[in-house]
Structure 1
Amino acid sequence: MIVKRVQHNSRQSERRGFLSMELALVLPIFGIVLFALLEFTLLFYARADVVEASRIGARLASLPGITQENVEQEVLKILPPQLGQGAVIQTEMGEHPGDVVMVAVSIPMKLASPNLLWPIGYDLQGQNLYSETRMIKE
């Protein structure tokens, strides 16, 4: 009976060794997938904000009597505060009805999301979220 217990205990410890080895191999990959999911989710939400801000800015710019300062203030009002602090807004205001107006909004990605994936080579440094909307002046 003592022999059987020793064999049984060695099988259990061998199985525990395999489980801990599997965990050691899978856990880093699982962590990278979770970090990627978090980072890309934050970037997609920020991109939606940037697109919406440029769209609303272009709609406002297409109205008669609106100045470039009015458009920039409205775009900054639409953007969340953490994104608005680094926003670069470019506008082309048409002079006459029928002219094309353009509003472009650019925001550094590092303001939208923490740079979680730099260890695997996906770096947000120097990357921007950009949206440009063109409309016809009324």
Structure 2
Amino acid sequence: MELALVLPIFGIVLFALLEFTLLFYARADVVEASRIGARLATLPGVTQENVEQEVLKILPPQLGQGAVVKADLGENSGDLVMVAVSIPMTLASPNLLWPIGYDIKGQKLYSETRMIKE
């Protein structure tokens, strides 16, 4: 009887642990990709396509297929440069907790990095 009461709760805890672990690892990849993209964007002569290619090179293939990269490249030295990377959470983790009301459909992992142009 105790097993029947505890097993569903234990299963939910394990699913939550798995899902959040996958999301935290994916978030680290997204943050690193936006930082590397921003570093590249600070260099003179870099285009939007160069930044996007570099960001997609850093992201794992499963995350890169749905990534949206936005870059605001400054015109002059000293201008602010911004690179934002966004991916759907469903690419990073299976939607394991929807039966208990935690749904990641439509949610995104997002990272934005700002630096000063050289």
Name the TM tier (shorter chain): over 0.9
Moved over 3 A (4+): none
TM-score normalised by L of structure 1: 0.85
Quote the offset at 1:105 in angstroms.
0.2
1:60 aligns with 2:73: no
Gaps of 5+ in 1: 1-20
Return the structure number with greater helix share: 1
Higher Cα Rg, which structure: 1
1:25 aligns with 2:5: yes
State the partner residue of 2:96. Answer: 116
In the alignment, residue 85 of structure 2 is paired with which amino acid? V
Alignment of 1:97-112 (within 5 A): 97-112=77-92
- Cα distance in 1 between the residues matched to 2:33 and 2:65: 14
Q: 1:82 aligns with which of 62, 76, 92?
A: 62
TM-score normalised by L of structure 2: 0.99
Question: Secondary structure at the residue paired with 2:114?
Answer: strand
Alignment of 1:24-43 (within 5 A): 24-43=4-23
Q: How many residues align structurally?
A: 118
- Cα distance in 1 between the residues matched to 2:77 and 2:48: 16
Gaps of 5+ in 2: none
Percent of paired sites with the same residue: 88
Quote the offset at 1:65 in angstroms.
1.1
Q: Larger deviation: 63-72 or 39-48? A: 63-72
